[in-house]
Each structure stands twice: as structure tokens, then as C-alpha cells.
């Protein structure tokens, strides 16, 4: 009982840390976008965490952890009720109580839609975004999650020595699930007015870099819970190793992104430094409990370099991603998932193949479902605000509010 109590306290702390990540996402997104869209972004983030949690209660949790099921899609059972042994050490090997299980997973669920929020910032209709969020967080995320964490077909996919796809805390299940939808949404939405003039990419600087910096540090802190809690108990060795690999990868990602962008662009760009930290964190997430410190630094470092090239690649193919969500969550999410087959305790050709198959399954499912949802919205209610609304700001039109009523607006 004492061990269960200790385990459960750690898991509740981790739950709180993952909750706090929503503050980090909100700060990062408003920091890297313009003042005139601040209320809109905050509104979306608050909508995601509130509605996301209720949806997870209503359908998400049961869809994601259906118990015995066909391996592809669970059944919709409304509401939650704990099993008989849910509060005893019999449940989940005494790692936490069933209530904690629900809340910890519920905090994760909303993250996938938050990733999309940043990518579509400054031009997507709030109504369309809300509908997308309800469908994606309520149904798509839990179904995708059930394939692996719910004991579905990917968790038992065996090739040679490799037994099962491995995604410790969600490089794929959370980050690239959000990242694929971000990619599709950005493609269907089109770029912000003024982002590409005469075929060349233009800078649209974010309005509050200090807030973006605070957001990234908060996210890093939140990752202590995101990865640390994914141990699913307070196991001393596993939790402390996980925090070490998580932090080393974050640091390496930041430093390498900073060096790479300085060499390429001859300036010390803080926003790339920040994205590099996030890239390192997303990259280590799939294998945080499987890596040595050296592996973690390498995985983070490669993620940091990938970030810089991915941001410029996204620009080159004329996709407009204001906060770098595709580079951070999709590219580094895929990288981190594949890295489980290249580094650490599970490394091997067979594991790499299983990881690759997993990545492809999620790519197909997430691209197809998010395309269907957003394309349907585009053809019915429309997904993009009018040109005037975009130029004058979504705050003024969608919300009739100012984030900073006493400040002057810069025209850029």
C-alpha cells in the first residue's frame, strides 16, 4: 500500500506537469505570432484543454484503452467507471490508481490538437477549428493510441527479434499524430497573406519572444511529467534515467539547432534555439527509457539539426507554419520513433523495420482522417477567415477583443 501511495503521488505530480504544458504551448504559440491574433490562439488552447478533457471522459479513455478488442478500433462506451480493483495494488502493477490513469492520459489527449493550433494560427476560422478538435481529440487520437498503448495490433507486431512497436511516451502517438494533421491543415488552408511574395518566403516575426522563451522552458519542465510519468510508476531507476535522457536530449537539440542556424544564416536566432530544444524533447520521447545518456545526446543533436533544415524545407515547399510545429512535432516525432531502432537497448534491423511500419501506419491513418475532416469543413462552412479579418486580426473579428488594448499595433 505504501508503494502504491508513493507511485501514485509521483504519477499525480506528472499529471500536473503535463497539464502545465498547455501553458507552455499557449505561450509559445502567441509568442511566435502577431499581437492581433493573441486572443484567438489563447481561446483555442483553452478550448482544447477543457473540451479535450470532457471528450476524453465521454469517449476517449474507453476508445483508447478498450481492454480486449480487435486491435484496430475499440467500442464507444460513454463515461468512465473504475474496475473493482482499480484503487488497489493489483491495478497496473501498483503503479497508480485507475483515477490517476484516466487523468494522466486525459492530459496527454489534448496535446495532439494543440500542435495543430500553432500550425494553423492567424488564419483559420475558430468554428472550423473547434469542430476539427472535437473529432480529432475525441475519436482519432484515442483510436490511433489504442493501436499501441491500448494493446492493439502495433503493440504485438513482431518481425524477427523485435516484439512490438515501441513508443515510450508518444513521439508518434502524440507528436506525429498532431504533426500529420498540422501538415494536412496547413496544406488545405494555404499561407498567411504576405508570407510568400513573388515566390519567396517572407519573415513574419512573432510579437513576444520573451513569452515564447517562457513557453519552451515550461514545456521542457512539463516533459519531466510527460516522459517521467510514462514510466507508469515511480520506479527509481526508470524514472531517473528517463529524466536524464530527456534533459540531455533537450539540451543537445537546442545547442545543435543554435549552431546549425548560426552557420547557415549568420545570426544567433533565439527562436531556432528554442525549436531545437523542443525537437530534442520530441525526438527522445519514443525511447527515453531505452537510451544511454550518450544515445540521448546523439538523438537530441540530430533532432536539433533536423529542425533547422525542416523549417527551411517547409518554407521552400510553400507551406506556412508560423510556429514550426511540422518541423518539431512531425519531423522530430518520426525521427525519434525510428531512433528506437538505431540507438539504445532495442536497436536492431528488425526493431527499425517495426518502427518504420508503425510510423507509416500512423501517417496513413492521420493524413487520411485529418484530410477528410478538414476537407469536409472547407467545402461546407469554410476553414479560412476573410482577407479583411486576417489583415485586421482574428481577435478583432472572431472575438471582438484586444489582447493588449493599451498597445499600438505594428504593421508588419
Partner 1 sequence: MKKVEAIIRKSKFSSVKKALHEVGVNFFSYWDVTGLGNEKEGHVYRGVSYSTSDIQRRYLSIVVNDDFEEVTIKAILSAGSTGDVGDGKIFVSQVDEVYRIRTGEKGGNTLK
**Which spans of this chain sit near partner 1 (rule: CB under 8 A)?**
201-205, 261, 264-267, 269, 271-272, 308, 311-312, 315, 324, 410-412
CB nearer to partner 1: give 237 or 406.
406
At its nearest, how many Å lie between partner 1 and the CB of residue 311?
6
CB nearer to partner 1: give 185 or 204.
204
At its nearest, how many Å lie between partner 1 and the CB of residue 297?
24
At its nearest, how many Å lie between partner 1 and the CB of residue 226?
25
CB nearer to partner 1: give 28 or 361.
28
Dist. CA 252–CA 258, nearest whole Å = 10
At its nearest, how many Å lie between partner 1 and the CB of residue 257?
11
CB nearer to partner 1: give 318 or 412.
412
At its nearest, how many Å lie between partner 1 and the CB of residue 119?
14
Give how far Cα 33 sits from Cα of 73, 190, 227, Å. Answer: 37, 16, 28
Give how far Cα 369 sits from Cα of 114, 155, 190, 375, Å. Answer: 17, 21, 19, 10
Residues across the chain: 412
CB nearer to partner 1: give 171 or 275.
275
Cα angle, residue 177 at apex, residues 172 and 183 outer, rounded to 5° = 120
CB nearer to partner 1: give 22 or 195.
195
CA-nearest of 197, 235, 182 to 363 is 182
Q: What ranges make up the beta strands (E) of 106-172?
A: 158-159, 162-163
Alpha-carbon radius of gyration of the chain: 20
Dist. CA 182–CA 118, nearest whole Å = 8
**Residue 373: its H or E element:** helix 349-379
At its nearest, how many Å lie between partner 1 and the CB of residue 38?
18
At its nearest, how many Å lie between partner 1 and the CB of residue 290?
32
Q: Other C-beta atoms within 10 Å of 398: how many?
A: 19
At its nearest, how many Å lie between partner 1 and the CB of residue 205?
5
CB nearer to partner 1: give 29 or 315.
315
Place of cell 501511495: 5
CA-nearest of 104, 84, 97, 103 to 7 is 97
Give how far Cα 15 sits from Cα of 27, 90, 314, Å. Answer: 19, 21, 33
CB nearer to partner 1: give 1 or 203.
203
Dist. CA 2–CA 282, nearest whole Å = 33
Amino acid at each position: 500500500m505504501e508503494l502504491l501511495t508513493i507511485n501514485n503521488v509521483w504519477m499525480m505530480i506528472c499529471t500536473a506537469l503535463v497539464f502545465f504544458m498547455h501553458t507552455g504551448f499557449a505561450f509559445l504559440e502567441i509568442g511566435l505570432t502577431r499581437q492581433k491574433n493573441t486572443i484567438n490562439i489563447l481561446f483555442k488552447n483553452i478550448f482544447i484543454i477543457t473540451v479535450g478533457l470532457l471528450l476524453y471522459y465521454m469517449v476517449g479513455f474507453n476508445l483508447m484503452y478498450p481492454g480486449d478488442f480487435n486491435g484496430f478500433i475499440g467500442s464507444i462506451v460513454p463515461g468512465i467507471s473504475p474496475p473493482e480493483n482499480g484503487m488497489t495494488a493489483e491495478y497496473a502493477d501498483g503503479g497508480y490508481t485507475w483515477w490517476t490513469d484516466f487523468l494522466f492520459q486525459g492530459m496527454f489527449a489534448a496535446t495532439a490538437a494543440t500542435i495543430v493550433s500553432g500550425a494553423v494560427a492567424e488564419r483559420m476560422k475558430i468554428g472550423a477549428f473547434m469542430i476539427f478538435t472535437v473529432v480529432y481529440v475525441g475519436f482519432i487520437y484515442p483510436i490511433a493510441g489504442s493501436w499501441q498503448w491500448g494493446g492493439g495490433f502495433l503493440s504485438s507486431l513482431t518481425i524477427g527479434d523485435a516484439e512490438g512497436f515501441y513508443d515510450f511516451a508518444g513521439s508518434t502517438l502524440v507528436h506525429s499524430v498532431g504533426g500529420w494533421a498540422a501538415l494536412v491543415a496547413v496544406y488545405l488552408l494555404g499561407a498567411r497573406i504576405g508570407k510568400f511574395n513573388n515566390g519567396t518566403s517572407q519573415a513574419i516575426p512573432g510579437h513576444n519572444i520573451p513569452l515564447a522563451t517562457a513557453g519552451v522552458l515550461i514545456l521542457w519542465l512539463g516533459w519531466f511529467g510527460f516522459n517521467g510519468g510514462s514510466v507508469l510508476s515511480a520506479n527509481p531507476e526508470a524514472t531517473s534515467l528517463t529524466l536524464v535522457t530527456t534533459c540531455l536530449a533537450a539540451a543537445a537539440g537546442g545547442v545543435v539547432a543554435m549552431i546549425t542556424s548560426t552557420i547557415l544564416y549568420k545570426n544567433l536566432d533565439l527562436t531556432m534555439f528554442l525549436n531545437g530544444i523542443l525537437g530534442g524533447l520530441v525526438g527522445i520521447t519514443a525511447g527515453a527509457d531505452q537510451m544511454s545518456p550518450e544515445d540521448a545526446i546523439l538523438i537530441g543533436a540530430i533532432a536539433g539539426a533536423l529542425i533547422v533544415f525542416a523549417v527551411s524545407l517547409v518554407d521552400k515547399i510553400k507551406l506556412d507554419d508560423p510556429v514550426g510545429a511540422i518541423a518539431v512535432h512531425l519531423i522530430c516525432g518520426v525521427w525519434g520513433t525510428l531512433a528506437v531502432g538505431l540507438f539504445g537497448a532495442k536497436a536492431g534491423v528488425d526493431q527499425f523495420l517495426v518502427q518504420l511500419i508503425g510510423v507509416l501506419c500512423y501517417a496513413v491513418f492521420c493524413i487520411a482522417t485529418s484530410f477528410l475532416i478538414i476537407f469536409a469543413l472547407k467545402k461546407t462552412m469554410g476553414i479560412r477567415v476573410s482577407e479583411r479579418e486576417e489583415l485586421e486580426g482574428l481577435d478583432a473579428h472572431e472575438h471582438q477583443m484586444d489582447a493588449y488594448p493599451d498597445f499600438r499595433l505594428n504593421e508588419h
